[in-house]
Amino acid sequence: MKQSFRLTLGCGLALLLTSGCRREMYEQPKDKPQSASDFFPDGAGSRPLVSNTIARGHLNQDEQFYTGKKGTNLIENIPIPVTRQLLERGRERYDIFCSVCHARTGDGNGMIPQRGFPQPNTFHRDSLRQAPAGHFYDVITHGHGVMYSYAQRVEPEDRWAITAYIRALQLSHDATLAEVPPSERARLEGGRP
Amino acid sequence: MPQIFRRRSNSVARASILGVVLLLGVGGWTLDAIWWSPHVTRVNVPIEQPVPFSHEHHYTGLGIDCRYCHTSVEKSSTAGIPPTYTCMTCHSQLYTDAPLLEPVRRSLITDTPLRWNKVNSVPDFVYFNHSIHVNKGIGCSTCHGPVNKMPLTWKANTLYMKWCLECHRNPAQFIRPREEVFNMGWLPPADQLAKGGELVEQYHVNTRQLTDCSMCHR
């Protein structure tokens, strides 16, 4: 009787040993994006690009598309077909990344300048109307004065989409009623946007 | 031999059975309540951060889109916490000597990332992906609650398996039009189930496999 009790107790205790430590599966020895790491000296799990290498799909050979320049000159026109889809994408990206400062209309009086940030120039001045398309691409990529670079946040294709949309804003800002297609004119004349 | 048990013992025995049942019941209920309390789940508990960043201020007050900071949410598994550089696009000019922002400035100068405390997380054995949810019409607020009203960010749902499955069993309850994903004020219409059913069809939501274990544990 006493022996079988000890045996049962022993087996029971041994069984406990087989249960793993809960943390093993919950916190595995791997790094997720942006997690801290005690393996790498800089403490970051996400690794920077190894120098003198190019990430897959980032060869970026098309100079005009990826720099907005030909040699050292800014290119005059957008190097990809401007479609309705590109413009819609441009509007979306512009509203996300630029409108807080440049305002949805492009006049430069966005919410952040209203809170004390230096106010940017309106896009509707002649110097910017006549500026080559490459200028806008270049400003998004490298920043301009107090405006920081958006290269990390806006991908090359989206930078051209935004450029196309700024062109559309410039065009529509000074459009006359005669330039509006007849089918849309009625809505404007009716006083409704 | 005298009687060991008196007649009264019968009632004592009955009462003690009742007592044990009650004890188990109350004990179980208490454990359950503790298990689901914010103390354990951390739901609705604002998390202290190295810089008291306020979504209420930046999103609702200033109108900055979620994607201005969480840039990868539409195209990758993680939404991404913005780097110091993103904060400094504005704070290089604004609040430049506020002591609150000292850690941000120091982080930029010394080129060491800020260490934000995680608010939402799933264990390492769970696979989660933002882009698929966002692109199939599941809004931020469905999972993260009213982020636009949070002065300090908190977790709005347990993120337990039970919670994921509640939606995966029938996404029509929560799905919304894609254009509304970033709208923090979106409310389900009265006929959500019918509308949701249409969207599930339209977005080709793969409902057959959504509850397979290998979907989330891979």
Selecting from B64, B89, B113 the residue whose C-beta is nearest the C-beta of A148 gives B89
Which pLDDT does position B155 carry in this prediction? 95
Q: Could you give the residue ranges of the DSSP H alpha helices within A19-132?
A: 23-26, 63-67, 84-97, 99-102, 111-114, 126-129
Q: With an 8 Å Cβ cutoff, is B88 touching chain A?
A: yes
**Residue B162, pLDDT above cutoff 90:** yes
B-chain residue closest to A111, CA distance: B62
Residue B89 near residue A148, CB atoms below 8 Å:
yes
**Residue B122, pLDDT above cutoff 70:** yes
Residue A93 near residue A107, CB atoms below 8 Å:
no
Which pLDDT band holds residue A18 (cuts at 50, 70, 90)?
low
- How far off is chain A from B1, nearest CA to CA, in Å? 30
Residue B87 to residue A46: CA distance in whole angstroms = 20
Q: Beta-carbon neighbour count of residue A108 at 10 Å?
A: 17
**Residue A158, pLDDT above cutoff 60:** yes
Cβ–Cβ gap A116/B81 under 8 Å:
no
**Residue A1, pLDDT above cutoff 70:** no
Residue A153 to residue A165: CA distance in whole angstroms = 17
Which pLDDT does position A36 carry in this prediction? 85
User: What is the mean pLDDT of the segment spanning A1-6?
Assistant: 75
Which pLDDT does position A23 carry in this prediction? 67
**Residue B56, pLDDT above cutoff 70:** yes
User: What is the mean pLDDT of the segment spanning B194-201?
Assistant: 94
Q: With an 8 Å Cβ cutoff, is A146 touching chain B?
A: yes
User: What's the one-letter identity of residue A128?
Assistant: L
Q: What is the ipTM of this complex?
A: 0.84
Residue B77 to residue B160: CA distance in whole angstroms = 18
Number of inter-chain CB pairs under 8 A, A vs B? 59
Provide the β-strand partners of residue A144.
Answer: A147
Total residues belonging to chain A = 193
User: Which residue has better confidence, A185 or B66?
Assistant: B66
A-chain residue closest to B66, CA distance: A96
Q: With an 8 Å Cβ cutoff, is A96 touching chain B?
A: yes
pLDDT above 90 as % of chain B: 81
All residues at 6 or more sequence positions from A156 whose CB lies less than 8 Å from its CB, including other chains: A60, A65, A66
* Boundaries of every domain in chain B: 9-35, 55-81+119-215, 82-115
In order of their start, the domains of chain A are 63-190 (1.10.760.10)
Selecting from B62, B81, B115 the residue whose C-beta is nearest the C-beta of A111 gives B62
Residue A112 near residue A100, CB atoms below 8 Å:
yes
All residues at 6 or more sequence positions from A94 whose CB lies less than 8 Å from its CB, including other chains: A162, A165, A166
From the list B217, B205, B212, the residue with the least C-alpha distance to B132 is B205
pTM reported for the whole predicted model: 0.91
Chain B partners within 8 Å of A44 (Cβ): 113
Dump the DSSP string for A56-81: TT-----HHHHHSEETTEEPSS-SS-
Cα B171 to its chain centre, rounded Å, is 17
Q: With an 8 Å Cβ cutoff, is A57 touching chain B?
A: no
User: What is the mean pLDDT of the segment spanning A153-177?
Assistant: 93
Which pLDDT band holds residue B49 (cuts at 50, 70, 90)?
very high
Structure tokens at B209: 């496999």
User: What is the mean pLDDT of the segment spanning B112-137?
Assistant: 94
Cα A127 to its chain centre, rounded Å, is 27
From the list B66, B55, B38, the residue with the least C-alpha distance to B152 is B55
Q: Which of A35-39, B135-139, B166-170, B176-180 has the lowest mean pLDDT?
A: A35-39
| Per-residue pLDDT reduced to its tens digit, A100-110 | 999 999 999 99
Q: With an 8 Å Cβ cutoff, is A88 touching chain B?
A: no
Which pLDDT does position A7 carry in this prediction? 80
- How far off is chain B from A147, nearest CA to CA, in Å? 7
Which pLDDT does position A46 carry in this prediction? 86
User: What is the mean pLDDT of the segment spanning B187-207?
Assistant: 93
| Per-residue pLDDT reduced to its tens digit, A42-100 | 888 888 888 999 988 888 889 999 999 998 999 999 999 999 999 999 999 999 999 99
Q: With an 8 Å Cβ cutoff, is B68 touching chain A?
A: yes
User: What is the mean pLDDT of the segment spanning A111-129?
Assistant: 95
Which pLDDT band holds residue B198 (cuts at 50, 70, 90)?
very high
Which pLDDT does position A179 carry in this prediction? 86
Q: With an 8 Å Cβ cutoff, is B65 touching chain A?
A: yes
Which pLDDT does position A27 carry in this prediction? 84
Chain A partners within 8 Å of B159 (Cβ): none
Q: With an 8 Å Cβ cutoff, is A32 touching chain B?
A: yes
Structure tokens at B58: 């930046």
Chain B partners within 8 Å of A111 (Cβ): 62-63
Selecting from B81, B93, B123 the residue whose C-beta is nearest the C-beta of A26 gives B123
| Per-residue pLDDT reduced to its tens digit, B130-151 | 999 999 999 999 999 999 999 9
All residues at 6 or more sequence positions from A42 whose CB lies less than 8 Å from its CB, including other chains: none
Which pLDDT does position B83 carry in this prediction? 94
Cα B131 to its chain centre, rounded Å, is 16
| Per-residue pLDDT reduced to its tens digit, B72-99 | 999 999 999 999 999 999 999 999 889 9
Which pLDDT does position A192 carry in this prediction? 54
Cβ–Cβ gap A116/B68 under 8 Å:
no
- How far off is chain B from A99, nearest CA to CA, in Å? 9
All residues at 6 or more sequence positions from B67 whose CB lies less than 8 Å from its CB, including other chains: A96, B73, B74, B182
Three-state secondary structure readout of B40-66: HHCECCCCCCCCCCCHHHHHHHCCCCH
Residue A24 to residue A38: CA distance in whole angstroms = 17
CA angle in degrees (0–180, nearest 5) for B19-B31-B123 = 155
Q: Which of A7-11, A172-176, B58-62, B175-179 has the lowest mean pLDDT?
A: A7-11
**Residue B181, pLDDT above cutoff 70:** yes
Residue B74 near residue A127, CB atoms below 8 Å:
no
Which pLDDT does position B2 carry in this prediction? 72
User: What is the mean pLDDT of the segment spanning B162-185?
Assistant: 95
Chain A partners within 8 Å of B65 (Cβ): 95-97
Cβ–Cβ gap A148/B85 under 8 Å:
yes
